[in-house]
Structure 1
Amino acid sequence: MPVWPDGKAADALRTIGEVGEALGLRQHVLRYWEDQFPMLKPLKRSGGRRYYRPEDIALVRRIDQLVHREGYTLRGARSVLESEGRNGKAAQPAILPAPDPAPTPAAIATERPPASERALRLLRMRARLIDALEG
């Protein structure tokens, strides 16, 4: 059975802190996504402590991909996930390579243009922000 970098088995439950650290996401973002994506329902134990199952982690990875890498809005990402659910498409597996480093402005400029003009505008704005922060 595959093992995560934390030494736990791949099918073990993980806390919100473990998931956030492994995926490079802040805990408040994960809690907010629970409100925005009704299909994301980690187990909650006494005191409200969250435990993420492998399928929850796969869903979080998919949301992260849609929102942070493909430029979807939360509403758009939710629509894509609902559509995938209706079509029977399974969520991506919960494998955890190291989080991708932030792309450089040059890398963003050479990526294939996204399907929508809005997503392209967002990528250009992101590249300008990265330039401003690094310059």
Structure 2
Amino acid sequence: MRAKFTDGKDEGALRTIGEVSAALGIKTHVLRYWEQQFPTLQPLKRSGRRYYRPEDIALLETIDRLVNRDGYTLKGAQQALKDRRDTPLAGQHPDHVAAELAPELSVDDAVTHPGGEVPAQVITRLKSIRSTLAQALEA
């Protein structure tokens, strides 16, 4: 199941807890409780508000599927997610995967490249990383 957002925001935009709650059909208090139970679920917190990244939402969808459709207990879901994280690339935060896949490339180096252009080699590598991340998230 993919979250259905009808707010007109970009797919990669940060979402508030209310927006995520409405899209997933999960009460806000349950989302806050899951943050306590699943340490990998760490939305950004600014001025007392929670902002969920796309990877946080994907994790919430997985937790919801495990607990509410597949019949896992919270401990069982925690273990299933841990087992999934122990496999290469699966379930990892995209920044961690990118660092593993391309430690020799630096986004800062690309951004500060003379003339403001990103070298073709960097673009090719980033496309490869994006593809690998998409495959890992589907697993």
Residue 54 of structure 1: aligned partner: 54
Determine the C-alpha separation between the residues in 2 that align with 1:43 and 1:36: 17
1:54-109 deviation line (CA, Å, top 9, x unaligned): 0000000000000000000000001000110111324747xxxxxxxxxxxxxxxx
Determine the C-alpha separation between the residues in 2 that align with 1:25 and 1:92: 21
Determine the C-alpha separation between the residues in 2 that align with 1:26 and 1:92: 25
Determine the C-alpha separation between the residues in 2 that align with 1:9 and 1:40: 21
Residue 124 of structure 1: aligned partner: none
How many residues were matched structurally?
A: 90
Local SS of the residue matching 1:81: helix
Shift of 1:4: 3.6
Contact 1:12–1:54, Cα closer than 8 Å, also in 2 = yes
Determine the C-alpha separation between the residues in 2 that align with 1:82 and 1:44: 24
Contact 2:5–2:23, Cα closer than 8 Å, also in 1 = no
Q: Which protein is richer in helix relative to its size? A: 2
Determine the C-alpha separation between the residues in 1 that align with 2:10 and 2:53: 11
Any stretches of 5+ residues in structure 1 without a counterpart?
A: 94-135
Contact 1:62–1:92, Cα closer than 8 Å, also in 2 = no
Aligned residue identity for 2:41: L
Shift of 1:52: 0.1
Residue 7 of structure 1: aligned partner: 8
Pair 21,10 (structure 1): closer, same or farther in 2 beyond 3 Å: same
Aligned residue identity for 1:41: Q
Instruction: Give runs of ≥4 in structure 1 deviating > 3 Å.
Output: 90-93
TM-score (norm 2): 0.61
Local SS of the residue matching 1:89: coil
Any stretches of 5+ residues in structure 2 without a counterpart?
A: 92-135
Q: Which has the larger radius of gyration?
A: 2
TM-score (norm 1): 0.63
Aligned residue identity for 1:35: Q
Determine the C-alpha separation between the residues in 2 that align with 1:24 and 1:4: 11
Shift of 1:5: 1.7
